[in-house]
């Protein structure tokens, strides 16, 4: 694995650049559709911790109305639900991959507030760049518990290899086509992580903390 991180970064640059070029026209259409559905701004921007916990600005298409006092299920529009279920809202995130904030594969970037809530073992998820998809996503996406997600994230760090990345990417395509694991059981998306040993997924009535339906 000694030389793989450099190869992985090269693949990230090549693939993200190609995706941005190929999907340029589609992203333009989606941007107009988001503006018609939700108004401006078209892009959702939020600070997320990357490798070693360093913050960067994550970008993706908006899928929710701008009302932080409303419940996630109320803020998520029909078109926004379509974008999330197909992962089309993630297309602008390729800019994060191209810039080096993220990788195609790695632990999903969550919220800065979670940094102080991780156990030392869970915090190892930040030993690598966060990813657009990851081992936790192909094992259930938002339908698995936080503890299971973090165990998968740490397992990814320990098993980092080209073979594992290819396997995750192929499984991600199948997952998106099936549109499974989009939300936690009984919730519009995923509940807030309050720390290991705290209650599980919140109900649909939970109020979001000003984020786009919780991290995925």
pLDDT single digits (tens) 124-137: 999 999 999 999 98
Task: Report the greatest alpha carbon distance in the chain.
Answer: 48
Distance CA 165, CA 168 (A): 5
Distance CA 1, CA 6 (A): 10
Q: Is 142 left (phi over 0), alpha (psi -120 to 50) or beta?
A: alpha
Q: pLDDT band for position 210 (50/70/90)?
A: very low
User: Looking at the predicted structure, is the pLDDT value of residue 183 above 90?
Assistant: no
| pLDDT tens digits for range 91-138 | 999 999 999 999 999 999 999 999 999 999 999 999 999 999 999 989
pLDDT score recorded for residue 207: 36
> Looking at 81-198, which runs of residues are DSSP E strands?
103-105, 131-133
Closest CA to 185 of 144, 133, 139: 144
Rounded to two decimals, the pTM is 0.85
Sign of CA dihedral 40, 55, 58, 114: negative
| pLDDT tens digits for range 25-83 | 999 999 999 999 999 999 999 999 999 999 999 999 999 988 777 776 778 888 998 99
Cα 118–chain centre separation: 18
């Amino acid at each position: 694995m000694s030389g793989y991180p450099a190869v992985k970064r090269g693949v990230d640059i090549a693939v993200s650049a190609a995706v941005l070029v190929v999907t340029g026209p589609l992203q333009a259409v989606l941007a107009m559709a988001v503006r018609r559905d939700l108004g401006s701004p078209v892009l959702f921007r939020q600070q997320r911790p990357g490798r070693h916990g360093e913050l960067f600005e994550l970008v993706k298409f908006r899928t929710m109305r701008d009302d932080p006092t409303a419940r996630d299920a109320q803020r998520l529009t029909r078109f926004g639900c379509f974008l999330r279920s197909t992962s089309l809202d993630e297309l602008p995130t390729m800019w994060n991959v191209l810039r080096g904030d993220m990788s195609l594969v790695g632990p999903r970037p969550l919220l800065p507030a979670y940094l102080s809530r991780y156990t030392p073992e869970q915090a190892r998820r930040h030993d690598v760049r966060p990813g657009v998809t990851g081992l936790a996503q192909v094992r259930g996406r938002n339908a698995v518990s936080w503890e299971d997600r973090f165990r998968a994230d740490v397992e990814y760090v320990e098993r980092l290899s080209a073979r594992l990345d290819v396997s995750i990417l192929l499984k991600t395509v199948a997952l998106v086509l099936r549109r499974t694991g989009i939300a936690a059981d009984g919730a519009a998306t995923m509940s807030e992580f309050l720390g290991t040993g705290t209650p599980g997924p919140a109900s649909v009535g939970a109020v979001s903390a000003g984020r786009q339906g919780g991290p995925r």
